[in-house]
């Protein structure tokens, strides 16, 4: 089996979770246990323990020692490791995707898309040889030259979320190491198994020990990383509350930080857009990944001229979604990550009802059949929602859509911009005028025009505004990754 799948399993067919330190799998003997589930069955499949400060510090020391050597390797040679890793990931893509489905619950097709995005980030990181080029000025003064170069900084930490167990980690790993740093990844304690799958690939790609490390755990492990003086920067994706904590703590410790946070994404459908073409994009956006993604559609905005037609067709198509285990080919909607999270989403449905929104599709009535022990919730749709409601103000992170009918285009823009979040927003229209106004006036970092999910390709940064992002330089590719993972050095010469 590819990726060392059998080696990860214990005798009772559960999975074993190791730390990865100095190129070795290390059993973690922390005191606090976190259970890992296959959410489609509601069954525990592994345990994760917090990595304490002492063990985190050892991992950082190894990573720092590795940095001193790795940063001296020519960048053209460092990139060759990424080439090998990219090929290995392609060869093992289906095995990686299968593990994503097992531990997270998304459909296999969705998991394949996630793995492909991770691979694309490795490819994009190979462009570091071009993006890191410096600047030079001759004779800035008589007989004096000046140049600017970008230099690696040290050990970075990446703290990644449960909903994309491999993709988000690879927003950071290839860029950090390609530019000469070393990195320690702290996967979500809810979905650590896909990262375990990649350990064999790191070995096979030949990375020197300590260049890539993995420490498992939750809050205590994060704090140990933040408190270690040898960590020079932190990359994070998660909730807004956690993002604020990460950035403020990192800043106080004189570390760089970038933190993607919560979202509330609006999708505006103009009357000139064809409902038959638009609604499939809406279904994918609102209910893909069971709504557990920061680019998921959350609020559908219509106008009086098209409201009824769009909402009725949206409801009709949502009713066709099939709940179940993501490895079953006919399944189109997987479970939520935990029973506790399902209860949280159910609380939002109760809130929407109590605040006066009209529940026209009730996901609580959907049956997962033989998977009824899983953490399933069918698609829900609220109509007649308003901006003062909790279901509009807050991120739900589940398969719940809310519909607001705007008076006109200007009113729609005002509604969208009232949100405290600014991750993404989309317009469906055939009008270039409306599309251009939308892209200019909407306060969101990722804008879609006739695109259901405004997900940037790997060599563009993953933008975000307001309470959806904290820091100065965004994740993923583009110029931001070079600026974040390197520092400037200015050299002034006289001969």
The secondary element (H helix, E strand) that includes residue 152 is: strand 144-152
> Which range marks the domain in which residue 66 is found?
2-261+468-494
Same domain, 365 and 219: no
Same domain, 44 and 158: yes
CB 271 within 8 A of CB 294: no
Same domain, 326 and 183: no
Q: Is 294 a catalytic residue?
A: yes
Q: Which of 265, 269, 324 is nearest to 299 (CA)?
A: 265
CB 230 within 8 A of CB 157: no
**Structure-token pair, residue 365:** 């009535």
Residue 461 lies in a domain: no
d(CA 400, CA 285): 11
**Structure-token pair, residue 82:** 């990424």
Position 11 confidence tier, pLDDT thresholds 50, 70, 90? very low
The number of domains in the chain is: 2
Same domain, 320 and 390: yes
Position 8 confidence tier, pLDDT thresholds 50, 70, 90? very low
pLDDT at 10: 37
Set 48, 212, 242, 294: catalytic member: 294
Residue 134 lies in a domain: yes
Q: 3-state class of 254 per DSSP? A: coil
Instruction: Give the pLDDT confidence of 61-77 residue by residue, as tens digits.
Output: 999 999 999 999 999 99
d(CA 186, CA 279): 37
d(CA 240, CA 263): 9
CB 232 within 8 A of CB 62: no
**Structure-token pair, residue 350:** 């109760």
What's the CATH code of the domain at 385? 3.40.309.10
pLDDT at 477: 83
Count of residues making up the chain: 495
Same domain, 383 and 472: no
Residue 287 lies in a domain: yes
Residue 455 lies in a domain: no
Residue 458 lies in a domain: no
Torsion of CA 107, 170, 103, 283, to 10 degrees: -30
Same domain, 406 and 486: no
Residue reference for tokens 């990195």: 183
Residue 373 lies in a domain: yes
Residue reference for tokens 């990192």: 250
pLDDT at 478: 81
Q: What DSSP designation does 388 have?
A: T
Residue 462 lies in a domain: no
What's the CATH code of the domain at 478? 3.40.605.10
d(CA 472, CA 484): 9
Same domain, 326 and 339: yes
Same domain, 243 and 307: no
Same domain, 129 and 241: yes
Instruction: Give the pLDDT confidence of 80-134 residue by residue, as tens digits.
Output: 999 999 999 999 999 999 999 999 999 999 999 999 999 999 999 998 877 888 9
């Amino acid at each position: 089996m590819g990726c060392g799948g059998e080696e990860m399993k214990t005798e009772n067919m559960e999975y074993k979770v190791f730390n990865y330190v100095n190129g070795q799998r290390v059993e973690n003997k922390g005191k606090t246990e976190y259970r890992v589930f296959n959410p489609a069955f509601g069954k525990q499949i592994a345990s994760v323990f917090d990595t304490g400060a002492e063990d985190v510090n050892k991992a950082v020391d190894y990573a720092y020692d590795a940095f001193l050597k790795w940063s001296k390797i020519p960048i053209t040679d460092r990139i060759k490791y990424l080439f090998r890793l990219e090929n290995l990931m392609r060869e093992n893509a289906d095995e990686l995707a299968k593990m994503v489905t097992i531990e997270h619950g998304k459909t296999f097709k969705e998991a394949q898309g996630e793995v492909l995005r991770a691979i694309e980030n490795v490819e994009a990181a190979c462009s570091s040889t071009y993006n890191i080029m410096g600047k030079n000025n001759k004779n800035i003064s008589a007989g004096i030259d000046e140049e600017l170069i970008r230099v690696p900084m040290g050990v970075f930490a990446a703290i990644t979320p449960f909903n994309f167990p491999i993709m988000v980690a690879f927003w950071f790993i290839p860029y950090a190491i390609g530019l000469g740093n070393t990195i320690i990844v702290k996967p979500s304690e809810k979905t650590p198994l896909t990262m375990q799958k990649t350990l064999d690939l790191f070995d096979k790609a030949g990375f020197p020990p300590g260049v890539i490390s993995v420490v498992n755990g939750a809050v205590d492990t994060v704090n140990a990383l933040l408190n270690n003086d040898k960590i020079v920067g932190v990359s994070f994706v998660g909730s807004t509350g956690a993002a604020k904590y990460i950035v403020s703590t990192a800043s106080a410790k004189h570390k760089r930080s970038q933190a993607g946070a919560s979202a509330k994404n609006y999708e505006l459908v103009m009357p000139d857009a064809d409902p038959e073409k638009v609604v499939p994009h809406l279904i994918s956006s609102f209910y893909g990944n069971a709504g557990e993604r920061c680019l998921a559609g959350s609020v559908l905005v219509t106008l009086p001229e098209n409201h009824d037609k769009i909402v009725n067709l949206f409801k009709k198509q949502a009713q066709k979604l099939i709940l179940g285990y993501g490895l079953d080919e006919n399944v189109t909607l997987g479970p939520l990550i935990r029973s506790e999270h399902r209860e949280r989403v159910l609380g939002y449905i109760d809130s929407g009802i109590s605040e006066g929104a009209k529940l026209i599709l009730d996901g609580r009535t959907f049956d997962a059949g033989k998977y009824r022990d899983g953490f399933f919730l069918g698609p829900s749709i609220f109509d007649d929602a308003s901006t003062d409601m909790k279901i509009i103000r807050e991120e739900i992170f589940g398969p719940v859509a809310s519909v607001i009918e705007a008076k006109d285009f200007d009113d729609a823009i005002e509604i969208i911009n009232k949100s405290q979040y600014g991750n993404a927003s989309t317009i469906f229209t055939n009008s270039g005028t409306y599309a251009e106004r939308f892209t200019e006036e909407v306060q969101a970092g990722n804008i879609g025009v006739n695109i259901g999910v405004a997900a940037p390709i790997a060599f563009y940064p993953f933008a975000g505004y307001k309470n959806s992002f904290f820091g100065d330089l965004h994740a993923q590719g583009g110029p931001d990754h070079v600026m974040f993972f390197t520092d400037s050095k200015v050299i002034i010469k006289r001969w």
